[in-house]
Chains A and B, each alone.
Chain A
Amino acid sequence: MFYVKVVIIGDGGREHALSLMISASSLNPRVYALSSYINPGIKKVAEGSGGRLVRCDILSPVDVISKVNEISPDLIVVGPEEPQFHGVTDVLKEEGYAVFGATSKLAEIEKSKVFMRELMWKFKIPGRLAFKAFTSIDEAVEYLRNAGDVVLKPARQAGGKGVKVFADLQAYLSDIKSEVREKYARKLVSEVMSNYRDIEYRLLVEERVDGVEYTLMTVTDGYDVVPMPLVQDHPHAFDMDLGPETGGMGSIQGPGLTLPFIELREFDESVYIVKEVLKALQKVVNDRYVGALSGQMMLTPLWGPTVIEFYSRFGDPEVANLIPVLDIDFLELIEAAVSSKLARIKLKVRDDIVTVVKAVCPKGYPNNRKVAKGHPVTVDEGRIRDYGCKVLYAGIELGGDGGIYTTGSRIVEVLCSGEDYEEVSRRANKCAELITCSDGWPTFYRSDIGTRELIAERMDAAERVRAVYMYRRRNNLLTTKVDWIPGRGVTVYDYR
């Protein structure tokens, strides 16, 4: 009997979602997963399709290639960014495999935030932000003293961690903020960046912008770009947009290609930006991009659609929102990208439903993961299915005793869809309640994602932002920005 073998590299919620979409293909693929730990969700999909989950050091090209050779797949999907950074895609391609996933050179777009910004400035792509990059903490600290209203980021992608926003508009509070900025810069360099020696820059300081964030995921074969429907993630840990930055507490999508607070024109402008970045990237590194390329965007007063970060992969949890709405054989889409036939693909998106994803986390996530790790988890999959929802396993690991345990990260994502955000959100909450730690360790999720109030708030915010950027466009204010630090000279940013 004819079948295709697909290997998915990765172990999180994103890969569980990808494995579900791929295994649903009419091509009846056998799905194999290479994972650093046993994610029970991925394992189940793989085994159900006739494939299996193989434990593997997914950051080691040597280990990956030896496991892949044993399987001898027709197609390989590299899910997360770190294997890409570590050259896993490169080696697989050299061996002649058909791979969906950025090579290490192309993945620089995500790995090095400085590279991404420089690229956008060099090619004058709209939606860019002023920035300063530092290789030494002392220089950075000196700069930060007078920097005011900025965002601090680790210069390298660090698992979505480490971004801090310092709105500094009240002179009477700026002493404290200056102190906190300095302490935080030192902490970033010593605690986050010390893990990474594969990049020279340590710290990135960006101008701060306010606005409404959204993710534009695309699939590309290096020639054509197929945009997926927009998804909005919720980075704050707690309800009411309170609390520290996380990898994403949940996401909303629909109806159709855009979100209730993003206009179709803004969607098109965002797609244009991603296409321009792709072109520039391929030119600069002289390589062809086959894989997912996502823009973490924000509608800002400065530009309208503006780039916050780039991902050389699908967003997590954002990709889960695509499961119910892509009216396409997902494996065919991936296969078309790998064989440079994306131009033939016509993406159909259901516009009669909306989707809501909510992450359920162990208490302690994201800042205190040690205490969040190792708790036994119970998931009432039956009742979640009765609600018409799906569970995607993320930071959950199959233990030696057959039980499942938290890894310290987001435990699962629940995916719900339906006609109306309010109703879908409520259903997602009910499902989220069905995930518990059986040792009594508390779990949490955001009950407000997808509620009418929160969406109305986003609509208000987007309206405010829209009025400003439209005014700036009308009055040709998009062209220059002058940065002057007394005693240290003037920098004129040319936004043309």
Chain B
Amino acid sequence: MAGLISVISFDNIWKVGKYIYYGLLASQNRGQDNYIATLGDGVKLSISEGDFNPHHANGPFSEASGHVGMGGIYGLGEIYERKHAYASHNGHEVAIIIDGVISGSTYELARELCKLVSSGHKLDEAFLEIVNRYHGAYSLISMSNSAEVIAYRAPPGIKPLHVGGYGFDLAIISSESAPISILGGDLRRAINPGELIYLTQDEVRMVRTFDGKPTLCAFEYIYTARHDSILDGIDVYYIRSSLGAKLASRFSYDVDVVVGVPETAMPYAIGFAKALGKDIELGFVSTGSRIRTATKEDPKERLIGIQLKLNPIKYVFSGKRVAIVDDSLVRGLTMKNVVQILRNKVGVKEVHVVVGSPKLKFRCPYGVSIPSSEELLAANLDDELGVKYIEADSITWLSVDDVVDVFSRYGVNLCLGCFLGKYPVGCST
């Protein structure tokens, strides 16, 4: 997973470095460890990369000059060197960043683009020449040193990509819609699958290389995206609270209180409690900044993350029958830990685990940090064993049909690969 952002100003008096910084800051849900930022002034590209410091708004690139820029933010789980590339040829430079997976090497792609650009092609023409050799589940932003930017969402559109604008001055490209509003812009629309948008100060043009409707990654809506994003015109919050309501119809126990695991699961818990007619309470308080535990590779780091993020509020749990809602169960480690704390330290009466996704059984070949099948709880333990392993009183899952049903009114396709093991695009990491 990665968060991509680009800002193009139509007037050279702008410096967009700080916009890129805040754009990356707002995209940390898609990766929070490494960043790469590229700024352009129409003559050359300057690139900065390293560990992303969320407390350093005046960091290395945010004060630099450049009226066009782009940035990518990646998790440690990404082999992130393969998610960006730079090439130069005869005084021409091209840089690319991608979210997802692409067939072939990103470096080779950058090199080919650069060669075509230096032979007189516009960046979009260059990309269209070679795009049919680079398929996969990816979104891409590329920039040349003559301040051209292209944004491309590979068909069938598994990775999101959106366009926004600010007044007469800025165009903004972003994986999700929320960073566009964080940057003071207005969401214009989602980039369509197979659509290539070319942006310079003098020209904005679009080409579609694919005609079908998008096939969206269901996990974007379940876990990856921010609650305040609208992806492909569909409110993420709405999907999460609706899935929560679906869960209520599958839930057959009586409880005193509903609690959500912060913070992705909160809309599920709210939808679930509303449909169940039960009270929802705030169950946990986090320490330190937000950590996306599921995306950490190292088990010890994950554990530290969980424990810091989930200090229970004793009053809420003590002596109660509790339904605890999470958005997904990957290895079950978070939930096992939570249940232990609730039982041993807080004195809960019953703990019913409610999961806002179907059973995660397969790894994602498209770059979402889901571990391989042997590490996935749902792929290895049946319901009975799962309940015993977590030491819960019950576990309730959504079915794949529930998810499909919630999306049905939008007329889109879904990638359900991590639940079904069937993938819409052939591509290997």
B212 is an interface residue with CB less than 8 A from chain A:
no
Query: Which of chain A's residues have a CB closer than 8 A to the CB of B251?
Result: none
Known: A173-B183, A176-B15, A183-B13. A240 touches B188 (CB 8 A): yes
Across the A-B interface, the 10 shortest Cβ-Cβ residue pairs: A238-B204, A240-B188, A165-B167, A183-B13, A245-B168, A244-B10, A242-B165, A242-B171, A170-B184, A244-B168
Q: Which residue, A165, A172, A367, has most C-beta atoms of chain B within 10 A?
A: A172
Cα distance A175–B63 when bound, in Å?
11
In the complex, residue of chain A having the shortest beta-carbon distance to the beta carbon of B163: A240
A467 is an interface residue with CB less than 8 A from chain B:
no
Contact of B18 among A166, A173, A238, A239 (CB under 8 A): A173
A472 is an interface residue with CB less than 8 A from chain B:
no
Query: Which of chain B's residues have a CB closer than 8 A to the CB of A348?
Result: none
Cα distance A204–B168 when bound, in Å?
18
B66 CB to closest chain A CB, in angstroms?
12
Cα distance A235–B199 when bound, in Å?
18
Provide the A348-382 mask, 1 if CB < 8 A to any CB of B, else 0: 00000000000000011001100000000000000
A175 CB to closest chain B CB, in angstroms?
8
Known: A243-B204, A364-B202. A165 touches B168 (CB 8 A): yes
Q: Find residues 218-243 in chain A having any chain B CB closer than 8 Å to their own CB.
A: 235-243
In the complex, residue of chain A having the shortest beta-carbon distance to the beta carbon of B186: A241
B188 and A243 within 8 A (CB):
no
A367 and B168 within 8 A (CB):
no
B189 is an interface residue with CB less than 8 A from chain A:
yes
Known: A165-B168, A241-B188, A367-B10. A173 touches B22 (CB 8 A): yes
In the complex, residue of chain A having the shortest beta-carbon distance to the beta carbon of B169: A164
B371 CB to closest chain A CB, in angstroms?
36
A65 CB to closest chain B CB, in angstroms?
39
Q: Find residues 169-205 in chain A having any chain B CB closer than 8 Å to their own CB.
A: 169-170, 172-173, 175-176, 179-180, 183-184, 187
Cα distance A167–B165 when bound, in Å?
12
**What are 23 inter-chain pairs, A to B, with CB distance below 8 A?**
A164-B168, A165-B167, A165-B168, A167-B167, A168-B184, A169-B184, A172-B18, A172-B57, A173-B18, A173-B183, A176-B19, A179-B15, A187-B13, A235-B168, A237-B10, A240-B163, A240-B165, A240-B204, A242-B163, A243-B10, A243-B168, A367-B202, A444-B205
B148 CB to closest chain A CB, in angstroms?
13
Cα distance A167–B186 when bound, in Å?
11
Contact of B14 among A170, A176, A243, A444 (CB under 8 A): A176
B201 is an interface residue with CB less than 8 A from chain A:
yes
A376 CB to closest chain B CB, in angstroms?
19
Query: Which of chain A's residues have a CB closer than 8 A to the CB of B205?
Result: 444
A23 CB to closest chain B CB, in angstroms?
37
B10 and A444 within 8 A (CB):
no
B182 is an interface residue with CB less than 8 A from chain A:
yes
Cα distance A156–B48 when bound, in Å?
44
Query: Which of chain A's residues have a CB closer than 8 A to the CB of B165?
Result: 236, 240-242
Query: Which of chain B's residues have a CB closer than 8 A to the CB of A187?
Result: 13
Contact of A173 among B163, B184, B201 (CB under 8 A): B184
Provide the B195-208 mask, 1 if CB < 8 A to any CB of A, else 0: 00001011111100
Cα distance A242–B203 when bound, in Å?
10
B163 CB to closest chain A CB, in angstroms?
6
B203 and A239 within 8 A (CB):
no
A287 is an interface residue with CB less than 8 A from chain B:
no
Query: Which of chain B's residues have a CB closer than 8 A to the CB of A239?
Result: 204, 206
Known: A166-B167, A242-B165, A243-B168. A173 touches B189 (CB 8 A): no
Cα distance A239–B165 when bound, in Å?
11
In the complex, residue of chain B having the shortest beta-carbon distance to the beta carbon of A444: B203
How many positions in chain A have a CB within 8 Å of any CB in the partner chain? 35
B108 is an interface residue with CB less than 8 A from chain A:
no
In the complex, residue of chain A having the shortest beta-carbon distance to the beta carbon of B8: A242
A442 is an interface residue with CB less than 8 A from chain B:
yes
B142 CB to closest chain A CB, in angstroms?
18
B166 is an interface residue with CB less than 8 A from chain A:
yes
A453 is an interface residue with CB less than 8 A from chain B:
yes
Query: Which of chain A's residues have a CB closer than 8 A to the CB of B57?
Result: 172
Known: A170-B183, A367-B202. A244 touches B11 (CB 8 A): yes
Q: Which residue, B199, B201, B202, B204, has most C-beta atoms of chain A within 10 A?
A: B202
Contact of B166 among A167, A183, A235, A367 (CB under 8 A): A167
Cα distance A166–B9 when bound, in Å?
13
Query: Which of chain B's residues have a CB closer than 8 A to the CB of A235?
Result: 168
A36 CB to closest chain B CB, in angstroms?
26
Query: Which of chain A's residues have a CB closer than 8 A to the CB of B201?
Result: 367-368
In the complex, residue of chain A having the shortest beta-carbon distance to the beta carbon of B166: A167
Provide the A97-134 mask, 1 if CB < 8 A to any CB of B, else 0: 00000000000000000000000000000000000000
Query: Which of chain B's residues have a CB closer than 8 A to the CB of A367?
Result: 10-11, 201-202
B204 and A180 within 8 A (CB):
no
B329 CB to closest chain A CB, in angstroms?
36
Known: A167-B167, A173-B184, A245-B168. A184 touches B204 (CB 8 A): no
Provide the B1-27 mask, 1 if CB < 8 A to any CB of A, else 0: 000000000110111001100100000
Query: Which of chain A's residues have a CB closer than 8 A to the CB of B11?
Result: 184, 244, 367
A240 and B189 within 8 A (CB):
yes
Cα distance A442–B124 when bound, in Å?
14
Query: Which of chain A's residues have a CB closer than 8 A to the CB of B169?
Result: 164, 180, 244
Query: Which of chain A's residues have a CB closer than 8 A to the CB of B13?
Result: 180, 183-184, 187
Cα distance A293–B394 when bound, in Å?
73
Cα distance A363–B202 when bound, in Å?
6
Q: Find residues 155-192 in chain B having any chain A CB closer than 8 Å to their own CB.
A: 163, 165-169, 171, 182-184, 188-189
A79 CB to closest chain B CB, in angstroms?
26
In the complex, residue of chain A having the shortest beta-carbon distance to the beta carbon of B13: A183
Query: Which of chain B's residues have a CB closer than 8 A to the CB of A364?
Result: 202
B203 and A363 within 8 A (CB):
yes
Query: Which of chain A's residues have a CB closer than 8 A to the CB of B163?
Result: 240, 242
Query: Which of chain B's residues have a CB closer than 8 A to the CB of A183?
Result: 13
Cα distance A444–B189 when bound, in Å?
20
A164 and B167 within 8 A (CB):
yes
A176 and B18 within 8 A (CB):
yes
Known: A173-B183, A180-B13, A442-B203. A236 touches B168 (CB 8 A): yes
Cα distance A168–B185 when bound, in Å?
10
Cα distance A245–B167 when bound, in Å?
9
A137 CB to closest chain B CB, in angstroms?
15
Q: Which residue, A166, A238, A444, has most C-beta atoms of chain B within 10 A?
A: A238
Cα distance A156–B22 when bound, in Å?
37
Known: A169-B184, A367-B10. A243 touches B167 (CB 8 A): no
Query: Which of chain A's residues have a CB closer than 8 A to the CB of B168?
Result: 163-165, 235-236, 243-245
